[in-house]
Amino acid sequence: MNKLLCECGHENPEGTTLCQKCGSPLSAEEKSKKIADMRYEGTAIRSKTYNKSIIDKIWNFFSSVKVGITLIIINLIAASIGTILPQEFYISVATDAEKEKYYSDVYGWFGEIYYALGLSDLYSSLWFQLLVLMLGVSIIIASIDRGIPLHKSLKNQRVKRHTNFMKRQRIIGEGKPTETPEQTLQLVEQSLKKLNYNVRREDDAILAERGRFSRYGAYVNHVGLIVFLIGVMLHLVPGMYVDESMWLREGETRAVPGMDGYFLKNDKFILETYDNVPQGEQIKQGVNVVAKNFQTDVTLYKQQENSVPGQAENLEEVKQYGIQVNHPLKHEGYAFYQMDFRLNEIKAMVFDLINKETEESLGQLSIDLTNPQEVYTLENGAQVELMGFYPDFSGFKEGVPQTATQTPNNPAFIFKMITPETPEGETSFVAIQQTLEPEGDNIYKMKFSNVETRHMSGLTIRYDRTIPILIVGGIIFMIGVAIGSYWNHRRIWIEQLADGTIRLAAHTNKNWFSMKKDLDALTKHAHLPQYVDQQEIENNEHVETEKDGKTL
């Protein structure tokens, strides 16, 4: 690393613009300025110094404020796109086919594209997480790039400063004190301590400082953001975040997705409505009844130790609970929310095997739609083979029946009917209000008799171990905002020259009005020469020049 030698003899790292010892300007650009750039105390910043290797270029890219702001904007736009349509975890469907159909049915072509591009599950998508990761990397590198040199500079700042440093501060003053020149520094030190400054004295020079910690507000802010982003990204780590949904029919017991070793049974679904007479907005919206309560009475079970995953035998009851809206079942950090319900879902369909001509029945069979059998044997020796079952029949594709979902919304069957008259069997396709006989007219047919129904509950399972991390990140972020917003870093340098002249300089990162109030009090108490604001003078001269130009 090259060194920059100051006229005071101190060696500074390459890239330093103000000498770390005396504050004298080192670069030609810095020397050309009337007021010193005190943003980073003139220290060497890596991104401004090195640009040779690929690591330097990556470092410089992510340390750029423009890149950081651009990444923030891109993240905000991407996150906004995810709010155009509901995300998948807000809709009450379970399978991918159901989700695709939902977006297509509800939002048309826009929903199809939205789902096809993966925007329906945006916040869990890899590309969105990469954007968040890039933003996190940018914040970390930018903080290290600027924060560490700034901290070193503030920690090692000297009391005595070069004349060029003093005269290139925004506020300066020089002259002989009006009274008591022999006690001036004592009066200055006394006054500054009353104003709650930390005062350091070295021979005839004084450095008074207050509110240095405010310079770290932005970096505390960055730490909070990084912690928050880590919490967001931990959603992808198994075991840290669960957001699953499940449909549970009355009487059904199923393994809980995302909660290994636990099963949930739907004991009963309850829907209660108000006995009201529709009126006003209720009539306009076509709402006949208003729900008072929908509730799922459940029993939570746990597997025995050393059980095979998914084994639903010898379950141990954990608790019974009535899940209502806003009253979830909670256990070991998991919460089960009542999100949706479906009434009168088809549980079983009952058919008669009859002779088409005589209407004589050869027997009746009941098909459990959640657990259909392959063969049904009737009392008189006839058999019915279930060759195909399509719970949600959606039509034919190249002559093959299709199902949109596994939910029995529109059941269809392919039966093979074997009777004493037809030992080879007859094939029939049976759907609601539709019967096809692909091998020609059959002698027998399956005649629908009745249906059994039951209710079904839509539950959401949530488990989030990242919430404490997100809260901590948010608190740190707000502390950083408060530090950076409500405090400021003030410094006053005063030195007494050999002839008794007092030289004064001051700087603050913001709130110059309060800075001047302190200087006024100090000037009055210690009888110091009047200070001037160089930037204010420069601005006034600029205004006067503009006026003269207009006049001319």
The strand pair at 171-175 and 434-436 is best described as unpaired
Give me the pLDDT at residue 74, please: 94
How far apart are alpha carbons 238 and 253 in whole angstroms? 24
Q: How far is CA 466 from CA 121, 238, 415, 472, in A?
A: 19, 12, 52, 10
Task: Grade residue 285 by pLDDT with cuts at 50, 70 and 90.
Answer: low
Give me the pLDDT at residue 500, please: 84
Contact 173, 110 (CB under 8 A): no
Give me the pLDDT at residue 217, please: 92
CB atoms within 10 A of CB 69: 11
Give me the pLDDT at residue 473, please: 95
Task: Grade residue 45 by pLDDT with cuts at 50, 70 and 90.
Answer: confident
Show Cβ contacts of residue 432 under 8 Å, excluding neighbours closer than 6 positions: 410, 411, 412
Average pLDDT of the segment spanning 9-37: 83
The DSSP letter of residue 257 is T
How far apart are alpha carbons 327 and 246 in whole angstroms? 17
| Residue carrying the six token digits 């009066």 | 187
pLDDT digits (tens, 9 = 90+) for 333-355: 999 999 888 888 888 899 888 88
Question: Which is more confidently placed, 95 or 382?
Answer: 382
Give me the helix-helix angle, 512-526 and 184-194, nearest 10°: 140
The DSSP letter of residue 18 is B
Sheet with 253-255, side-by-side order of all strands? 253-255, 262-273, 291-302, 316-324
CB atoms within 10 A of CB 84: 11
Our CA angle for 454, 384, 411, nearest 5°, is 35
CB atoms within 10 A of CB 430: 19
Contact 206, 200 (CB under 8 A): yes
The yes-or-no verdict on residue 284 having pLDDT over 70 is: no
The yes-or-no verdict on residue 248 having pLDDT over 80 is: yes
The yes-or-no verdict on residue 288 having pLDDT over 70 is: no
Average pLDDT of the segment spanning 273-294: 69
How far apart are alpha carbons 230 and 386 in whole angstroms? 53
The yes-or-no verdict on residue 552 having pLDDT over 90 is: no
Mapping DSSP onto H, E and C, the string for 347-408 reads: EEEEEEEEECCCCCEEEEEEEECCCCCCEEECCCCCEEEEEEEECEEEEEECCEEEECCCCC
Lowest-confidence pick of 126-140, 316-330, 388-402, 476-490: 388-402
Give the rounded distance of the alpha carbon of 37 from its chain centre. 37
Burial class (CB in 10 A: 0-12, 13-18, 19+), 53: exposed
Average pLDDT of the segment spanning 464-484: 94
Give me the pLDDT at residue 321, please: 95
Please provide the average confidence, as pLDDT, over all residues in the chain: 86
| Residue carrying the six token digits 């009542």 | 338
Average pLDDT of the segment spanning 273-300: 75
Tokens of 492: 């006053």
Give me the pLDDT at residue 123, please: 82
pLDDT digits (tens, 9 = 90+) for 16-26: 888 888 888 88
**Residue 101 is which amino acid?**
K
Average pLDDT of the segment spanning 355-376: 88
DSSP state letters, 336-347: EEEEEEEEEEEE
Q: How far apart are the first and last CA of the chain?
A: 54
Lowest-confidence pick of 124-128, 217-221, 315-319, 478-482: 124-128
The yes-or-no verdict on residue 550 having pLDDT over 60 is: no
Q: How far is CA 56 from CA 27, 350, 474, in A?
A: 22, 74, 32
Give me the pLDDT at residue 211, please: 93
Task: Grade residue 282 by pLDDT with cuts at 50, 70 and 90.
Answer: low
The yes-or-no verdict on residue 305 having pLDDT over 90 is: no
Average pLDDT of the segment spanning 36-41: 83
Burial class (CB in 10 A: 0-12, 13-18, 19+), 87: middle
How far apart are alpha carbons 296 and 339 in whole angstroms? 10
Burial class (CB in 10 A: 0-12, 13-18, 19+), 196: exposed
pLDDT digits (tens, 9 = 90+) for 131-180: 989 999 999 999 999 899 889 888 888 898 888 889 989 999 998 887 77
Tokens of 513: 């009005």
